[in-house]
Amino acid sequence: PPPPPPPPAPGLQADKEVAREAAAQTGAALALFSEDLRDTYSVAAAAVRQDGLALRFASADLRDDRDLVLDAVRQNGEALAYAGVNVLKFDAAVVSEAVRQTWKAARFAIKLNMEAMLEAVAQDWRALGDLLGLPTPPDQAQIEELVASNPPAIQTPQLRANRGAALAAVRTDGLMLRYVDPDLRMDEAVIQEAMQQNPEALWVAHSAVRFGAPLQKLYKSGPMRARREPNGKFGYFDTGGRVESSDDDGEEEEEEEEERDAVEAENTAAGEDEAIQGGAVQGGATQGESAAGDEA
């Protein structure tokens, strides 16, 4: 915040009307007033409505006043850092309002309800790191819900090796597989979940398993190709963001494979016939040349 203005004349520092007017112009002026004025609600309210961070200059009792703190966080969510313990512990509405103003307010809370945590993570995935550092951090189920709401949150260092969080992320955005711990990038179950959301997730899996037969077979399957080639011969179908196989898909694949085998067999047979005919012609030409030589 800007530095406080020069202090008023000594006789004016205790004048409530002057103090209120000064605070309304520059909230940080609250720091210059007498203790009695900093404990006066109307003066402190004028200050925090102009600059929420001026809450730090209010008296300890006023920093536990719900209405004053609410005014402060509405002006600047990070004013929650200066709220009294009673507000932080027991007033979820004030804390939620601060988080709505800025996700950075989450780091100053003691406990957040799920709605406020979702709001913070929706604003910026980095908020999840702050939530994990709270005195009452989110539990595993909440972590998974938060990651699912904003998948890049799996980049939070504490969560990269968390299998449940990784699954929540890749089920929403398969390419988030690139950010998880290397061991999870080799976990075929996690990789397959990622590929169900986005087949191209295969290429961010660990190189040690990327070219394995099971994953390659899944990647080349009809349903996966339909997702990868939405405008190609395989068409496009919507399965709610997931690839689902069916008996019909298997039958179609078998029919296509039989057709390809039949075409290859025909080509092979045609090639053999041409070779035989070519050999016969070449043999006839050789005999003709030999006869001509004998006559000569």
Direct distance between the N- and C-terminal alpha carbons of the chain, in angstroms, rounded to an integer: 115
pLDDT at 247: 43
Q: How far is CA 218 from CA 26, 86, 275, in A?
A: 65, 56, 39
Rg (C-alpha) for the chain, rounded Å, is 36
User: What one-character DSSP code corresponds to residue 230?
Assistant: T
pLDDT at 235: 37
H helix and E strand count, the chain: 16, 0
Structure tokens at 154: 């799996």
Structure tokens at 82: 């200066």
Q: Which string of DSSP letters, residue by residue, matches 46-105?
A: HHHHH-GGGGGGS-TTGGG-HHHHHHHHHH-GGGGGGS-HHHHHH-HHHHHHHHHH-GGG
How do the pLDDT tens digits run along the chain, 296 residues long? Answer: 566 655 555 555 558 888 999 999 999 999 999 899 999 999 999 999 999 999 999 999 999 999 999 999 999 999 999 999 988 888 999 999 999 999 999 999 998 999 999 999 999 999 999 999 999 999 999 999 999 999 999 999 999 999 999 999 999 999 999 999 999 999 999 999 999 999 999 999 999 999 999 999 999 988 888 877 764 444 333 334 444 443 444 455 555 556 656 656 665 655 555 555 555 545 554 455 554 445 54
pLDDT at 226: 82
d(C-alpha 143, C-alpha 150), whole Å:
11
Q: Which string of DSSP letters, residue by residue, matches 246-269?
A: -HHHHHHHHHHHHHHHHHHHHHHH
pLDDT at 179: 97
d(C-alpha 8, C-alpha 136), whole Å:
44
d(C-alpha 224, C-alpha 218), whole Å:
7
Which of 189, 196, 155, 206 is CA-nearest to residue 174?
A: 196
d(C-alpha 177, C-alpha 184), whole Å:
8
Angle, CA of 284, 288 and 292, to the nearest 5°: 170
CA–centroid distance for 260 within its chain: 43
User: CB–CB of 195/201 below 8 Å?
Assistant: yes
User: CB–CB of 152/125 below 8 Å?
Assistant: yes
pLDDT at 89: 82
